[in-house]
Structure 1
Amino acid sequence: MTITRSHSNQRMSQCVVHGDTVYLAGQVAQSAPGGTVTAQTQAILAQIDSLLAEAGSDKTEILSATIWLCSMDDFAEMNAVWDAWVPEGHAPARACVESPRLATPDFTVEIGIIAAK
């Protein structure tokens, strides 16, 4: 079975497609570092939409999501954006955990996705 990697560098690929499964790397808000949790979550979900579209999928095909927050105090704020984004009847399996430090202090939210094609 073919493996396709895109948006890659030596360390990682932002998207890997294997068969009919799409794996996204943990996404951080490239366009809104240091922004509010709302702004970062919106930016991340837009990136996810774009990467899934490039892979021939979309948010209705998400199987699993893992969300890392620097503080669980931001859980409700992140969920307000997430809940508006997830289509009715297409909620994936999901985990949300606190991770006091992400890649840089500018990022407070990170989201990893696995989806079907």
Structure 2
Amino acid sequence: MPTFMNDPTMPTPSFPGSHMVVDDHYVFISGLTVGDLSNGHAVKGDVKEETRLVMRALSRMLEMEGGSLADIVRVDIHLTDLHAIQDMDTVYAEYFEPGRYPARTCTESPNLYGGSSIEITVMAKRPHQSAQ
């Protein structure tokens, strides 16, 4: 049975959804932008810094469930300007072991929440839970 949860460090979503849905096998994290983060407003417009803050938040959220960025199997990225993909990629790649990158889609979306430049959604394999 899935568990629907919100990250207690972030505001409750303003949309009918959850920050995370966790089942026995996967952690699904809704699209995250710096507009969702209380410390994100200062970096809006700098795709590298926005990417860095979002990846750190995703890492923290996965750690809440006993996982890490290494458990991510799929990523969806939306950029307001697809020409910024190389700048985004230089930061994004730092968070994964070379050659072990998740499957990924990257699209251009002209309007993202809170005026952000990037939105990232992830699906991560949940670490095996020991029998209790």
TM-score by length of 1: 0.90
| 8 A contact 1:61–1:90 mirrored in 2 | no
1:1-117 equivalences under 5 Å are 2-7=1-6, 9=13, 11-29=16-34, 30=37, 31-33=39-41, 34-105=44-115, 107-117=116-126
Higher strand share: 1
Q: Which amino acid aligns with 2:122?
A: I
Q: Considering only aligned residues, what root-mean-square deviation do their CA atoms show, in Å?
A: 1.5
Q: Which amino acid aligns with 2:117?
A: T
Q: List 4+ stretches of structure 1 deviating above 3 A.
A: none
Number of residue equivalences: 115
Q: SS at 2:98's partner residue?
A: coil
Distance in 2 separating the partners of 1:43 and 1:35:
13
Q: Which has the larger radius of gyration?
A: 2
Q: Which amino acid aligns with 1:112?
A: T
Distance in 2 separating the partners of 1:5 and 1:54:
14
Please, which runs of 5 or more residues in structure 2 have no aligned partner?
A: 7-11, 127-132
Q: How many percent identity over aligned positions?
A: 24
Distance in 2 separating the partners of 1:16 and 1:84:
26
| 8 A contact 1:4–1:17 mirrored in 2 | yes
**Alpha-carbon offset, residue 90 of structure 1:** 2.4
Please, which runs of 5 or more residues in structure 1 have no aligned partner?
A: none
TM-score by length of 2: 0.81
**Alpha-carbon offset, residue 35 of structure 1:** 4.3
